Amino acid sequence: MAGGARKDDDDIISDINVTPFVDIVLVLLIIFMVTATYIVSRAIPVDLPKASSGEDITTTLALTLTKNGDLYLDGRKVGENDVKRAISSARRNNREARAVIAADREVAHGRVVRIIDLVRRQGVSRFAINIESE
């Protein structure tokens, strides 16, 4: 025939290239890891008071007081004794442990002060009150 050698197109591709699939899975994994901490911190409905100033700090212990009186530590519902144990454990790992206290605006002032007192009695001198910037 005119034109040269015949190209053999009858070869069957017998293996699947999984590299693009692995790339997509790893990107999705990274996205889920980054957004998971944000989702957990927003999972407990709290109406935070607003303030014009405030700064972000690295959260070691996140305490949340809801308007119905529940106390959460890092997203888990706990009692005051559980908070004491968690603070003791955190202070063993890091002497500069910090606490961030988020309380619904409808929580009684005395309840917030009680939690602050609990945190300070356990040796955490650096704590912050979580607010929502205006």
Paired residues of 98 in beta bridges: 126
φ/ψ (deg, to 5) at 94: -150, 110
Q: Which residues of the chain are under the pLDDT cut of 50?
A: 57-59
Confidence (pLDDT) at 59: 44
- DSSP-assigned letters across all residues of 92-113: HH-TT-EEEEEE-TTS-HHHHH
How does pLDDT run across 50-76, given as a tens digit for each residue?
Answer: 776 665 544 478 899 998 889 998 888
Write down all domains in the chain, each with its CATH number in brackets.
39-133 (3.30.420.270)
Q: How far apart are the first and last CA of the chain?
A: 81
**Global pTM?**
0.56
